[in-house]
Chain A
Amino acid sequence: MSQDQRTESAPGGAASEGEREALLQIEGLRTWFHTEEGIAKAVDGVTYTVRKGETLGVVGESGCGKSVTALSVMQLVPTPPGKFEGGRILFRGEDLLEKDLEEMQKIRGNDIAMIFQEPMSALNPVYTVGDQIMETVMLHQGLDKVAARERAIEMLKRVGIPSPEQRVDEYPHQLSGGMRQRVMIAIAMACDPALLIADEPTTALDVTIQAQILNLMRELQEQEGMSMLLITHDLGVVAETAHHVAVMYAGKVVEYSEVNELFARPHHPYTIGLFRSLPDLASEGERLNTIPGIVPSAFNFPSGCRFRTRCPIATERCAAEEPPLVPLEEGAEHTVACHHLKEALEL
């Protein structure tokens, strides 16, 4: 993916409109799992903000806590063994962690909706897709059956499913993977949520369908003025869809920035490593670059900077002292957690 294309396709207008109001603010969230083998600190001090009408892309390797953060927002982390050890999740200024189950059930699906990675298993096989859309609008918006059915057909049409009047009575197994993901989006969007959490929405789809789904999500987001939290490990997806990016590593955010800024000037060694391991059209036929080592176990993170075990520029300071997430310069939006910014830029 070349620099020019990215600038074109990324919805970069956000920065020029100035700071938008924050919809979801996660501050120092800690979600730990207390298991028999010990404490897994899956999310350990995550801070990021999703602004109104904007998309925040969260990237990182498998097991870095992206999904657990999202599930924490929905309070769908199984407790026990999960436990919130600290931090706040402010949604419209209210702390979701302080809400009881009943209040959360009103928010889930209605104000915050979520779509999942596997469209094959995220739809209930025994109900028609119409029933599944109808159920959520009947529950949250109190529509009657007839109105709910109309809404279901309208939603199917909006997500680009052909002949929605017939599809509404079909079962999930009668639909292809891309269609099912569209149905998932239709269900999630049926109640006009303020925030849509998409947990790797395109990972299980083939590449052409991925592009369709991403376009669809971007269109819908722009039409509805909805905010989106897009969790992915695919930097290309982020470049196309997100306004801001948070890069997570080992339960922490290591870099947060506006999307064009990050793609132009990544600062954290981990982010740089990610970019370098992308396949490049120019270097066809060569071995791909990788980041050496593996993600440390959540049971036993290294002291200090958690990336130091894989970092080419790690020093003793990195082991002794955990780098805070600080702005690059005074007042900048771009924040990085690294002691050696200068050395990193030379990588």
Chain B
Amino acid sequence: MTEQATLREEAAGEVLLDEGSTYSKDYWDLVWEQLSRRALFKVGMGVLAILYGLAIFAPLIGNDRPYKLVAVDYGEYQSAARGVERLSSNALERLLGTGPDPTVQAAGAEREVTAALTRIDLMRQYLGAEDQASLDTFREGLVSSYSLARQGERIEDESVSRALQARAAGFATEFAAAPLGADPASPGKHLQPSTRYPLAEGLGGGSIFFMLLWLLLASFPAWNRLWNGRLGGDRERIRDARGMKRNLILGAPVLAAGLWVLLVGGGTAAFDVSPFKRGLSEGSIVAFEAPLLPPVPLGYAETHKEEGFRPPTWLRGARLDSNGRYMEGLRVPKADPITGFLPPATPVEVRFGEPWPNAPHRHLAGTDELGRDFFVRLLWGGRVSLAVGILSALLLTIIGVFMGSLAGYFGGKVDVFIMRLIEILQSIPAFFLILASLAFIDPKEVSIPPIFIIVVVIALVRWTGAARLVRGEFLRLREEEFVLAANALGYSNMRTIFRHVLPNALSPVLVNAAFAVASGILTESAVSYLGFGVQHPEASWGSLVNESKSPEFWWIQVFPGVLIFLTVTCYNLVGDAVRDALDPKMKV
């Protein structure tokens, strides 16, 4: 019998060897195959990719900060010079005073000295070598007086310190700028242009991360095909390369963002309203090269009050005459029947780099009440809406998975407690719970940005669905023998739950998450529409709908409404496709 068995074993071994040489698809191969067969999935993903791309690259598309500016900022220079005069005089007054303790005097002058030094550095970039040297002597004098006082020594040399004080008093005059193009012999400093990258100053590491991440993901189908082609279509090697691809997609953006923060500092300037366009228009900033402006050179908070509620400029009805009055259509002003006067109007102010008032691309989506460009606001609003959607779905999935796992795995009292909690939460209408929670949070008192408050509140109210799904899956999987096997191998409960059971329970959660993004966007829109969400001048699609309720200003409701609809629809399409692909019964 033993011999027979051995013979059979050998025979079976050969068969198995043959079996081993053929390739069999693993789970993700099958899922991917299913997904790539669905046209609606591709459409949905494509549209979402474009929407996310626009949101992520919004600062580069619609912004009032130039990419590159080679210019002298006379206004900035002059105010810096005046600032240095005032600050250094005050500081020296304290430092040279005859108080009992020099260190106390130094402490009093600390802020003034630091402020003066930053302004000196700012001035320095516009000055020639000779003037820089003269500025540096003043700087050194100030620094040494301060450091002497800090060490507790009194400034003894009367003549030097008096001279320094006198120079400080005449600082603004000494360093006054000569106007541009003035005779070289004329008094005053002849300033030289410095090169700045104002837009990049506002980009943080996070922005860089997401930009690169998006680029890598959007171009994934292309470079993935190239890569696989280079592997010669060898399934094993393609499967091995998966880890490398994942590391590239996640690692490269992290690396780039890290380098950006390290080398550039990144994200110090705010994007609300910048002084550059106004300065360029008024002439206080003199550009030596044509400044490079983004395609839509308007800030999301930049107002044009004379252009309030202007329809999209590619419409005939949006055309204005030189006085700022509509020329065609329903908005043409009518003269007062009694006095015969036309209502007052203001001509459109065209700032540096902006299209002409009647250019069709001046306001692609019209303007809001304060004349802020609605297209730019839609771009920036998408950042908030899409981020709220993703983050709330992520957070509620994490909470739901954690609670559901505990309930499903441990059962008993834990299960009873968590399920009753879920039932209580679900018995309250979620939207009103969110509104009520937000009403109790004063955005001025809480230091976190309001969008994160919304995200957290949505997640804390909505995690129950994901938890129920996970619990159900756990109840099913708990009976599977591999769970017992994991226990029999001495794995801890946490390892068994999160490493062994959870990955098997994730498919329905993934689908749930796709729908949760859609509902998160809707909830944020609704909350913002009611005025509890993001606050001015920031925008989200929901708050943009709320800018006007009048059908006369239809673009205010239509454009953000369409975007919300499009995003939610696409998420539902993607969620449907993913659900079908993950369903084991669908697999052939």
Contacts and interface: CB of A to CB of B under 8 A. Distances in A.
Interface string B477-511: 00011101111111110010001100110000000
B6 interface: yes
A160 B10 CA distance: 10
B424 interface: no
B17 interface: yes
A170 B21 CA distance: 12
B490 A110 contact: yes
Contacts of B491: 105, 109, 135, 139
Contacts of A212: 5, 8-9, 12
A46 B495 CA distance: 33
Contact of A162 (B16, B26, B482, B484): B16
Contacts of B5: 208, 211-212, 214-215
A272 interface: no
Contacts of A108: 487-490
B13 A162 contact: yes
A176 B482 contact: no
A249 B426 CA distance: 50
Given A162-B13, A171-B27, A124 B504 contact: yes
Interface in A209-240: 209, 211-212, 214-215, 240
Nearest to B13: A162
A151 interface: no
B17 A163 contact: yes
A162 B2 contact: no
Nearest to B482: A124
Contacts of A160: 9, 13
Given A121-B480, A215-B5, A126 B486 contact: no
By size class, the interface of chain B is 35 or more
Interface string A133-148: 0011001100000000
Contacts of A328: none
B19 interface: yes
Interface string B454-496: 0000000000000000000000000011101111111110010
A140 B5 CA distance: 34
B16 A140 contact: no
B12 A122 contact: no
B262 interface: no
Nearest to A76: B487
B24 interface: yes
Contacts of B19: 176
A302 B500 CA distance: 42
Given A9-B1, A162-B17, A76 B12 contact: no
A338 B287 CA distance: 109
Contacts of A124: 482, 485-486, 500, 503-504
B20 interface: yes
A121 B482 contact: yes
Interface string B363-382: 00000000000000000000
A163 to B, nearest CB: 5
Interface string A166-207: 110111001010110000100110000000000000000000
Nearest to B501: A124
A117 interface: yes
A139 B490 contact: yes
Contacts of B236: 166, 169
Contacts of A274: none
Interface in B207-245: 236, 239
Interface in B15-33: 16-17, 19-20, 24, 26-27
B490 A109 contact: yes
Given A139-B491, A163-B17, A76 B484 contact: yes
A61 interface: no
B504 A176 contact: no
A124 B477 CA distance: 11
A113 B489 contact: yes
B8 A211 contact: yes
A116 interface: yes
Contacts of B499: 135
A169 B210 CA distance: 33
Nearest to B485: A122
Interface in A3-18: 5, 9
Contacts of A126: 27, 503-504
A333 interface: no
A344 interface: no
A107 B268 CA distance: 56
A176 B239 CA distance: 21
A293 interface: no
B340 interface: no
A265 interface: no
A211 B12 CA distance: 12
Contacts of B412: 80
A147 to B, nearest CB: 18
A245 interface: no
Nearest to A140: B490
A248 interface: no
Interface in A75-122: 76, 80, 104-110, 113-114, 116-118, 121-122
Nearest to B26: A171
Contacts of A178: 12
Nearest to B4: A211
Contacts of A123: 482, 485
B238 to A, nearest CB: 12
A187 B8 CA distance: 24
Contacts of A179: 16
Nearest to B9: A212
A116 B504 contact: no
A297 B482 CA distance: 28
A135 B236 CA distance: 22
A113 B504 CA distance: 24
Contact of A122 (B4, B26, B481, B504): B481
Contact of B488 (A74, A121, A135, A211): A74
A58 B8 CA distance: 27
A125 interface: yes
B482 to A, nearest CB: 5
Nearest to A81: B412
B8 A122 contact: no
Nearest to B500: A124
A113 B488 contact: yes
Nearest to A1: B1
A314 B13 CA distance: 51
Nearest to A212: B9
Residue among B20, B482, B490, B499 facing the most chain A CB atoms (10 A cut-off):
B490
Residue in B13, B19, B482, B504 whose Cβ sees the most chain A Cβ within 10 Å: B482
Given A108-B490, A122-B484, A215-B5, 14 more contacts: A9-B1, A74-B487, A123-B482, A125-B27, A125-B504, A126-B503, A126-B504, A135-B489, A171-B26, A171-B27, A176-B19, A187-B489, A211-B8, A212-B12
Pairs of residues from A and B, 4 with the lowest C-beta to C-beta distance, nearest first: A108-B490, A109-B489, A109-B490, A211-B5
22 contacts: A5-B1, A76-B488, A105-B490, A105-B492, A108-B489, A109-B489, A109-B490, A114-B485, A116-B481, A118-B481, A122-B481, A126-B503, A127-B503, A135-B499, A162-B17, A163-B17, A170-B24, A174-B26, A184-B485, A209-B12, A212-B12, A215-B2
Interface of A: 5, 9, 74, 76, 80, 104-110, 113-114, 116-118, 121-127, 135-136, 139-140, 160-163, 166-167, 169-171, 174, 176, 178-179, 184, 187-188, 208-209, 211-212, 214-215, 240
